Structures are given as structure tokens and as C-alpha cells.
Amino acid sequence: MPGENLTRDEARERAGLISVDGYDVALDLRSAVRPEEHTFHSVTTIRFRCARPGASTFVDLLAPSVDSVVLNGRELTPAAVFDGGRIALDGLDAVNELVVNARCAYSRTGEGLHRFADPEDGEVYLYTQYEPADARRVFATFEQPDLKAPFTFTVTAPEHWTVLSGGERVSHEPASEAAATWRFAPTEPISTYITAVVAGPYHMERDVYERTLPDGGTLRVPLGALCRRSLAKHFDAADIFTVTKQGLDFFHDHFDYPYPFGKYDQAFVPEYNIGAMENPGLVTFREEFVFRGKVTRASYEGRANVILHEMAHMWFGDLVTMEWWDDLWLKESFADFMGAFSLVEATRFTEGWITFANRRKAWAYRADQLPSTHPVTADIHDLQDAKLNFDGITYAKGASVLKQLVAYVGREAFLEGARRYFKRHAYGNTRLADLLAVLEETSGRDMAAWSRAWLETAGVNSLAPEVRYDAEGRIAELAVAQQAPASHPVLRPHRVAVGLYRRGADGALERYARAEADVAGERTVVPELTGVGRPDLVLVNDEDLTYCKVRFDEDSLRTLRGHLGDLTDPMARAVVWSAVWNMTRDALMPAREYLAMFLDFGGRESDIGVLQMLHSWAGTALEHYAAPAWRAEGARALADGAARELRRAEPGSGHQLAWARFLARVASSEGDLALLRDLLDGTERIEGLEVDQELRWTFLEPLAAHGLADEEVLAAELTRDDTASGRRHQVRCLAARPSAQVKAAAWSELVETDALSNALVEATISGFAQSGQRELLAPYAERYFAVIERVWAERTIEIGMAVVRGLFPHHQDSPGTLAAADAWLAGHPQAPAALRRLVLEARDDLARALAAQGCDGAVA
């Protein structure tokens, strides 16, 4: 569509020309309850100034039609000025008023104003999601983060609905017999992408946060939590409010800047594309955080982390916002770091840094080894680039780098820098240099050198111990060797702890010596450990202070193969598990060796978050990194191990539930599948294991994939659970069935039509791409490369990303598929850069899998 992909140069030119005084946005959403209606009425009034009277610019709007455009009282002809993505504005005055009357489209893709009909009660629920640039799907806007302004929303909707926006409600008046109009107070100056509207018959619970301020006054923040009415019976708002208050306490204690946006509502909404969004005063979350069945402690920890991540954005991102998406890290890296920081120090989830080391960093390590890796502070040319940069680099690597920064400058200097940053740039926009300036002030450190090493270069370093012993078996010299990949040959400064571990008489593997060191260059000696007795294990990056891949010397590897489970420190285990997984991904450890360690020691892992990550890695190792000839044997071993640990786990525990889910993932033999079927129908029971509705669907998917649960069985299950979640589960299970006709129908729904909502696209892809159905999926490898450019052109970027990533023929793991990907990349040099990036990343994953399979096959 013309004008849809705003470039950085265009944004900078426009920001130099105009400044925005305010928006008034009026939305009429009464049509939402009529399924045949696909649009709503949107009227936007924008007051703005122009630095060069007489100049021209444009306003962004993605809408089916525009009824009228009035600039400074002058009627413009919509057909002449609106191209489907932009409205051209000529002859600007010094002070301007623009009124745009448009018909905007309801979304089924989670972009713009999403409309969802609840199958349980037939009610309609709406919410907005804009990042990075979809406010223009709802109202006319200068869609870039540095043109901040106050926003005043007015919404007309069915009278029985709950309607919320970022500002406080100031009036609620009848609009007709069955409708009402809600008017909201102006927001503080904010960017377009964090404005929000939520509307529908939501269930809402309320609370209040109060705090005495240093000047003796009282800060009072009204709290709200809401979800669909049909989920209300599962909604644990009390826990959400507890974490919210703990977070507000923490950030007020450390930021010295009171929460600036009045109220704090949190809406859990259906068919949401991401985890959550930091709209000030009205944070939106995916409703999967409302748990319909039993979940593990890790799920509650994950939800708490997301709540705190979004709360940190109220300061990092909303109060102070990056100028352009190049500096997206200024909000996302900080929110990711502060989410973990506050989680550990303010809530019951004191193990949060363990989860960060094991799970969050895994995302970063993968992203940083892709051909599309980039510096934390990136080069974002346009909005499609920006969309793809919400990745493991911007979030998890950036957060890891900030954790390293705290070790480098000190905790108080870091927090004082944040405090000065907020006060100096409140309601403004910043670049990298603005943050570095305050940190240099508070720490006295050379932040430019630190930034060049950590923020302005890409790639992940490897740190390995080099140890020499004297005749008495004591350490003569211990050094840390640093390597960088050839593609990004940068050696960075690291603050690391080196831990020495040995086994005691009771068999426990415990640390008996430790030293911190500033590692720089190719080799750094750690003199503090000279003369210490010989260890069984040398662990570089003990306590996970820096961002690196950890390697081991041969003695340490030998110890881990036999005694990893004897490590008593949970953080040390998390770092070790991450390290051996990275070795497996890098084809330095055969997949079957990693899986043997998992089977020997996974059942002894006490941290449930780490265990669930191990389950994910084990599944990936089997499906992608194990030699094809060994997969069947490996699957039997994993299923046997899962069944054994399931029966061994404490009844009713999170570990028991996690092993049940893992068994469903790896089950393939007649016996495995019979156990799942028997647990479903109640002929088999395992003490403490509650097979609730969510677990029933988990068990049904492998049964469907192996032809043991047909359409009739799945229809009967939907009768038990005719909910939005139940329908997604059923769609996934239906697409998983081992039939050529089923696969053809699923492919057609994904590629040839746009009939599915975003949530059903995700579910269909998940069911379609079964690792155990490689032969059945083989015909679609060639078709994939033939259709992806068309799909990208025809669909929204959110759906395009889902299809291009989800349908890549990962399970056709052969040199031929790799060659097909290379041929597509070579033959489509003019394809959109974002599309090429997605294919290049998938191609890299496939190449890595083939290398790992070669490593694993070499030990056969």
C-alpha cells in the first residue's frame, strides 16, 4: 500500500517541520456488534504547528475510506489527497487544525482495533494494539514516536459495555436508546503507539495503590484488572494486584519520580499477538495469563515478570521515549532488565535471575548468532525493520548488557543515572547519547568506550578456562580465554566471576573458591586463584554476571557428564545447562550426549522454570539436532524417561505437571500413546495428576497427530470446552491429523485465504508443522518458496511474519532444502528486506541443524 512503510528519513524530515499540540479522537464503535459491519467511524482533530509556513507534509492513515478532510477550514477532496496510507497536506499555516472523518476497519489480525466475538456468550470485545505504527489504522496520526502530544478520546459504544482509555473517564452520557458516549481526560504528552482503547462487556475488578511521597503528600493510583466475562471464574485479580503494588513500591523507591499517568488499569484481552503492551494507564496483556487450568510456579513467575516489565515502561519508554526505533533498546532493554531486577527484589519470585540466566539469555544467544544479528542500538531504516527488531537482541541481550553495566558502574551509580535521566527528559525523546551522558556523570566511567563494546557491535563472545597445575595438583595458573566469531571479531570487556567446584564426601558438587576478574582481550589471568587446590569443575561466568557463551575444559566436561545433577547451587546449574545447550547448538556436543545428560539429571532439577526450559531444549535436540537414523531410539528414551519422572515426581507438584506435558510432546510409541489415552478417559490414574481441560487438549494433540483422535473425538472435546481457548486447541489438533487432505486444507487456509484470525493462524500452523510427519509435509517445501513473496505482499505484517516463519520447511532437514532457501535468496534480491531477513534466519536455523546432525551422526 502506498505510504505504509514510513522511513526514518521521512520521519526526521517531518519532525523538523511540525510539532503537535494535541489530538481529539472520536470513535463510534456501535457497529462492532453487527458481524456484517467491518468498519467503524473515526473522527480525528489534530492541532499542530509548522516551522515553515507554506510547506507540505502528510498524515498517516490506513483506512478503507475517508469521508472528509478539512485543513484550517478548507475542504480537501479525499480522492485527491488520500492514497490509502497517507493524507497529503499542502500549504500549511504556522498554526493548523486538521479534521479527518474516516471509516476505519476492525481487525482480525491483532493490529489496530481488534474485534473478537466470544463463542461462549456471543459478546464482542475490542482492544487496540499499535506498536510500532498501527494507531493509523484507528485514527489519523503523525505516526512516529518523537511527535508526542496529549490525546483526548471520546468513544461511543453499546451502553452495557466497559470502555477504557489511557486517560481518566470524565463523563458517561447516553448517546441513543442502547448506546452511550464515554469522554476521557487528556493524556500527558505521549507517543501515538502507546495510546489505547479497550471496549466490551469486560469483567473488571478494582483496587487502589497509595503511597506517602517525600514531600508529605499522598500518591493515590486507582487500579483496575479486567478480562472477558467468560474468563472471570479463572481470574485471580488479587495476585495481579499484589504484584502491581509491589512493583509500584519498588519503582518509587528506586526511581524518585512518582508514577506519572494517573490510573493503572491492566486488561487481559483475546487473540493478542504479543505478551503485553505498556500503554500508560491501560496496559494490555494476552489473556493466556489468565490461567484456565493448573500451571506451574514458572507460569506465575512469568506473568509477574511481564507485569513488572510493562510497569518499568511507564518510565523507560512512556515518560521518556526513544526518538526513533534505532534506540528501541532505550525502552525494551531497560524494561527487560528492570522486570527481572524488581521481580527478585520486590516479589516472592526471588529465583528470577536464575530464570533470566537460563531462559531469557537463551533467546538472546540464538538471536545474536543469526545472520540478521545487529548491535543493541540498531540501524532501523523503516517500519518493517522496526517490527522485526522486537527481538532477542533488543530485549534479552540488551537486558543482559545492562546487568553487566550494573556490575561495571555499580548499582547506585546506575540507579542515580536513571533518576537524572527521567527528570532531565520527562515527556521528551532521547537518543543513546542522552543516557550515556547521565551514566558518565554518576559513575565517572568512560561510557563511550563501554557503549562501543557492548551497544554498538554485534555478536556473542565465548569464555573458556585454561588451567595449568603444579606437581602438587594445585593451580599454577588459571586464565580466561576469550573468542569472538569471525563474522563479528570484537573482544569485549567482561566482569566475570570464576567459580571452582569439587565433590565432597557426600557427593555434592559445591563451590569452594571464587574470584572476580575484569576480562579483556584474548587471555586474562586470574591471579587470585593461583595455588588453590585442583577443582573438579571450573565455571567461568559463575553467578551469570556477563553476557557470553561459557565453555569448559576437558576435566570439567568429564565432571558434568557424570555429576551435573550434584551441583547444589541452582544458579550454577542454570548457567551450566545453558552452556551445554549452546555447545549442542554449536555442534560441539552431540545431541545424544546432551540428551543423555538431560535424562540422567533433568529429573533432579529443582527449579521448575529451568526444568521447563530443559524440556524445550530436549525436544528441539531430538527433532532437529539428532542424527535422523537415531531419532526413533532417542524418542523412545525420552518418552521412557518422561514417564518415569512423571510417576516419580511429587504428586500434585509443578514438576509432575511439567513431565506430563513433556511426555505428550515426545510420545510416539503405542505404549506412550495408550498411556495418554488412558489418562484422558480415566482408566489410568497417576496420584496427584489432575487431567484438567488444558491438559486434556495437551494429550489430545499427539493422539490426533498419530491418527488416534479423529474429527468426531475432537468435536466431542469441543463440546466439553466450547470456549475461545477450546476452539484454538481444536483447530490445532484438527490440523495435526496425519492426512494429506488435512494438510492440504490447512495449507489452503493459511496461504490462499485470509479467513482465519491471528490466533487461528497460529493454531493452524502449530498443528500443521508436526515433526513426526516429515514425509507428509515434504510436498510443501517447494510450494513454500513459490508463495511467500505473494503472501508477504497480500497480508498484514503480523500475519506475514507468522506464515513465513511458521511454514518454513524446517522438518525437511536436508541439503536440498538448504539449497532451495539459498536459491530463493539469490533469485529474489529485490524482495522486501524484512521478508528476506525472515527467510535468512530460517535458513540459518536449518544450516545449524544440519551441522548438529553431522556432529551427532559422527558418534554413531
Q: 80-94, 190-204, 407-421, 607-621 — which is least confidently predicted?
A: 407-421
What is the rounded distance in angstroms from the CA atom of residue 724 to the CA atom of residue 726? 5
| Neighbouring-strand partners of residue 431 | none
CA dihedral of 325, 88, 187, 158, whole degrees rounded to 10 = -110
> Coil, strand or helix: which one is 790?
helix
**Cell of residue 241, nine digits:** 494486584
pLDDT of res. 216: 86
Residues sharing a CB contact under 8 Å with residue 287, sequence separation 6 or more, in sequence order: 227, 228, 231, 268, 269, 270, 272
pLDDT of residue 390: 86
pLDDT at 285: 98
Exposed/middle/buried for residue 64 (C-beta within 10 Å: 0-12, 13-18, 19+): exposed
Q: Which of 366, 287, 346, 249 is nearest to 118 (CA)?
A: 287
Gap between the terminal Cα atoms of the chain: 54
* pLDDT(221) > 90: yes
* Cβ 142 vs Cβ 11: under 8 Å: no
Is the pLDDT score of 3 beyond 90?
no
Residue 657 to residue 296: CA distance in whole angstroms? 7
Task: For the beta carbon of residue 404, count every other beta carbon within 10 angstroms.
Answer: 22
Burial bucket for residue 119 (CB in 10 Å: 0-12, 13-18, 19+): middle
Q: Which of 512, 508, 480 is nearest to 499 (CA)?
A: 512
Q: Within its chain, how far is the Cα of 615 from the centroid?
A: 19
pLDDT score for 387: 87
pLDDT greater at residue 801 or residue 408: 801
Strand ranges for 13-56 from DSSP E = 18-28, 39-50
What's the whole-number mean pLDDT along residues 482-487? 95
Give the pLDDT confidence of 616-640 residue by residue, as tens digits: 999 999 999 999 999 999 999 999 9
pLDDT at 407: 82
Q: Report how far apart, in Å, the C-alpha atoms of 2 and of each of 57, 64, 84, 204, 570 are.
A: 15, 13, 7, 41, 54
Mean pLDDT over residues 74-81, rounded? 97
Q: Name the 3-class secondary structure at 652.
A: coil
Instruction: Locate 295 and state its grid cell.
Output: 500451571
Q: What is the mean pLDDT of the chain?
A: 96
- Work out the average pLDDT over 594-613: 97
pLDDT, residue 860, reads 66
**Residue 173 one-letter amino acid:** E
Residues catalogued as catalytic: 310
Exposure of 308 in the CB half-sphere (CA atoms within 13 A): 30
Sequence letter at residue 510: E
Whether the Cβ atoms of residue 239 and residue 259 lie closer than 8 Å to each other: no
Whether residue 64 has a cis bond before it, omega within 30° of 0: no
**For 213-357, where are the E strands, in sequence order?**
218-227, 264-269, 276-277, 282-286, 321-322
Window from 247-251, 393-397, 730-734 with minimum mean pLDDT: 393-397
CA distance 174 to 180: 4
H helix or E strand, kind and range, residue 114: strand 112-117
CA distance 284 to 278: 7
Q: DSSP character for 771? A: G
C-alpha cell at 274: 504479543
- Three-state SS sequence of 545-578: CCCCEECCCHHHHHHHHHHHHHECCHHHHHHHHH
Cα radius of gyration rounded to whole Å, the chain: 28
The sign of the dihedral angle between the CA atoms of 823, 825, 828, 829 is negative
State pLDDT tens for residues 421-449: 999 999 999 999 999 999 999 999 889 98
In this predicted model, what pLDDT tens digit does every residue of 746-774 receive, in sequence order? 999 999 999 999 999 999 999 999 999 99
pTM (two decimals): 0.96
Determine the 3-state secondary structure of 475 from DSSP.
strand
How far apart are alpha carbons 691 and 752 in whole angstroms? Answer: 37
pLDDT of residue 1: 45
In whole angstroms, what is the distance from residue 158 CA to residue 176 CA? 9
Q: What's the farthest any 2 CA atoms get from each other in the chain?
A: 93
Q: Beta strand pairing status for 151-158 and 18-28?
A: parallel
Q: Per-residue pLDDT for 179 more than 80?
A: yes
CA dist., res. 713 & res. 860, Å (int): 41
* Alpha-carbon dihedral angle through residues 741, 746, 747, 748, given to the nearest 10 degrees: 90
- CB 183: neighbour CB atoms within 10 A? 16
758 Cβ contact list (under 8 Å, min separation 6):
108, 109, 110, 271, 273, 798, 799, 802
